[in-house]
Structure formats: C-alpha cells, structure tokens
C-alpha cells in the first residue's frame, strides 16, 4: 500500500519506435519492426510506477484516430485512466535507432490545439481525482491553447487539499508553477539554466546554488536535478545529495527521466526516506536507458542497480 498518486499528461503522444540501417536525406528509409507505446510525461510516470509494483491514476486528453489507438495501448499496459475527449487528434512521436552508428533520432510532433472548455475539463477531472494526502504529478509540455499558468492553477488546488504537486516541465509553464509554489521539480541541466536566466552552460556548483535559491525562496521544497551521464543531485532545505549514473550499456534515452520521476514519487508515497527514494530514482532512470526503444524500467534491473549506488558529496 502507498499514498495515492495521480499523474496528468496534457500532451500525450503515441510513441512509435523503429530501426534503420542508416538515416540519410532524400532516400526512402526501410525500417525494421515497429513498437508502439502510450507516451507523454505523466503516462510514462504511471507506466514506470506500475512496472515497479505501484499504482496510480493517469489523467489525460485524447482525440481523433490516434487517440483511439492510444486508448487501446493504455488498456494493454494495464493502467487506470481518466480520459477527457477533445476535438483535436492526439499527436505522435517517432524514434529511429540508426543501426550503423548507434545514434538515435527523435521526432516529437506538436500537440493538438485545445479549446478552453477542454483544458478546463482536465482541471475538473483532476479535482475529482485529487490524491488527498498523496502526490499529483504534472509532467510534460502544454499543448497549444493551454495557458502558461495551467500548472500554477494545479498548485493552488493542491495547496488547499494536502496534495504534494510534482512538476516536470520547462519554460514559462514551470516558471509560473514555481511562482505559486510546488513540492518538487525535476529539471535537467539546461532547463534549470533557462529557468534562472543563465546565458550558456552552468557548472555543477552553479546549478546546485540555483537549486538552493529556488528551495530557500519557497518556490519548491525539493529540486531533483538530472545531469544525464553525470548522475543527479537532490537539493532540499536540509541537504544536498549526489548520485553517479550507474555504468550500463545505453540502448535508448527515451523515458529515462520519466522512470526516474516515477520511482522517486512511488518510493516517497510508500513512506521511504528521501535519500532512499532518490537512489531508486537514479536506478530506474539507468534501468530504462538499458532497454530499447520506448520500453521502461524492469524491477529486477532497478533493484540490482540500486544496491550498487553510493551517494557522493556534491561539488556544490
């Protein structure tokens, strides 16, 4: 048993993945077998939670023929869903692994434009399913038509009902959410640099200091900063924790950040200490990177990698 978890994906995508020997311009590219998965930030978080033995309710809008196909893959994945029907066609994302080089090409299409009654219906469904005493994970981009302060609206509702809001977003949507105050954010190096208005790349001490400022100002209680192959850093009012990325053969980067967040939230919902949840998160992200295409972490891989992880002092 664990505290309730609800995920919200405002811009879901049907993830299509395949392989090609070489990706070259102006040629018809013959691909290998295709894999189809229901994607988008919050749905991927729910998929990772389910893979690790937990449960959640996934809330998302769907529309058009792609939305119908998406619905079938959700049912096959065994997720509990609350669907808001919209007029626009749900988007697709396309990933191609180039066999000759090992490079991966990712094409992410723009989502459908949502009308105000549609995005307000999403707010209404979340309010009906609000995980009181638990976690609401709002993850992914906002499609056209949805206002930048949409996640900030969620923050206000969450604060009034003992719900810890977790936001995995970037740009204006993340900035507005932080103005309202959230429990946790999971920015990448580039997203955090953009958030604080930095020009160029920030080194790790600068990133940690930027995260500390966000926490000290009350805009977020926890910042989980992901650094790709260099690991991750967790910043709270009391401490800064750093974990390296386990050495694993990388097959695909798709979904690794979502698996990280899914494991982190699930362990917190299970009442685990923050440091232990952080270790599970790093292990889940790496376990996902080991797998091809859009497949997400397996529990046995997460357990093995987690056991080998040892926290390091942050250079911040």
Instruction: Give the active site residues.
Output: 258
CB neighbours of residue 22 within 10 Å: 11
Contact 136, 166 (CB under 8 A): yes
Q: How far apart are the first and last CA of the chain?
A: 36
Secondary element (H or E) of residue 96 = strand 91-98
How many whole angstroms separate alpha carbon 278 and alpha carbon 239?
A: 13
Between vectors from CA 203 to CA 261 and to CA 232, what angle results, nearest 5°? 20
Helices (H), 237-296: 256-269, 274-289
- Residue 56 vs residues 14, 42, 181, 211, 262: alpha-carbon distances, Å: 20, 10, 23, 28, 10
Burial state string for 246-282 with b = 16 or more CB within 10 A and e = fewer than 16: beeebbbebbbbbbbbbbbbbbbbbebebeebbbbbb
Phi, psi at residue 76, to the nearest 5°?
Answer: -65, -35
Q: Please report the DSSP string for 51-89 in residue order.
A: HTT---EEEEEE-HHHHHHHHHHHHHHT-EEEEEE-SSP
How many whole angstroms separate alpha carbon 160 and alpha carbon 136?
A: 13
> Would you state the structure tokens that stand for residue 248, as one six-digit string?
């694993």
In three-state secondary structure terms, 225 is strand
In three-state secondary structure terms, 216 is helix
């Amino acid at each position: 048993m664990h505290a309730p978890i609800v995920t919200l994906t405002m811009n879901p995508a049907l993830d299509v993945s395949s392989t090609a020997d070489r990706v070259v311009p102006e040629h018809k590219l013959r691909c290998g077998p295709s894999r189809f998965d229901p994607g988008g930030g919050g749905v991927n978080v729910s998929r990772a939670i389910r893979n690790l033995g937990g449960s959640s309710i996934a809330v998302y809008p769907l529309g058009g023929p792609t939305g119908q196909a998406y619905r079938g893959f959700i049912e096959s994945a065994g997720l509990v869903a609350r669907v808001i029907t919209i007029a626009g066609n749900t988007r697709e994302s396309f990933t191609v692994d180039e066999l000759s080089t090992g490079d991966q090409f990712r094409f992410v299409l723009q989502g459908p434009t949502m009308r105000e009654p549609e995005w307000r219906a999403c707010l209404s469904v979340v309010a009906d399913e609000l995980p009181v005493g638990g976690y609401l994970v709002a993850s992914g981009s906002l499609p056209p038509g949805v206002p930048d302060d949409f996640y900030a609206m969620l923050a206000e509702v969450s604060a009034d009902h003992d719900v810890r809001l977790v936001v995995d977003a970037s740009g204006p949507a993340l900035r507005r959410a932080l103005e309202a105050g959230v429990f946790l954010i999971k920015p990448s190096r580039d997203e955090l640099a953009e958030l604080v208005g930095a020009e160029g790349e920030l080194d790790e001490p600068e990133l940690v200091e930027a995260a500390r400022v966000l926490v000290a100002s009350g805009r977020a209680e926890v910042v989980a900063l992901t650094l790709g192959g260099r690991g991750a850093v967790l910043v709270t009012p009391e401490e800064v924790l750093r974990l390296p990325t386990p050495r694993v053969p990388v097959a695909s980067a798709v979904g690794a950040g979502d698996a990280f967040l899914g494991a982190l939230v699930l362990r917190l919902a299970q009442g685990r200490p923050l440091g232990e949840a952080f270790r599970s998160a790093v292990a889940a992200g790496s376990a996902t990177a080991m797998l091809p295409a859009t497949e997400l972490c397996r529990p046995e891989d997460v357990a093995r990698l987690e056991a080998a992880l040892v926290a390091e002092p942050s250079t911040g």
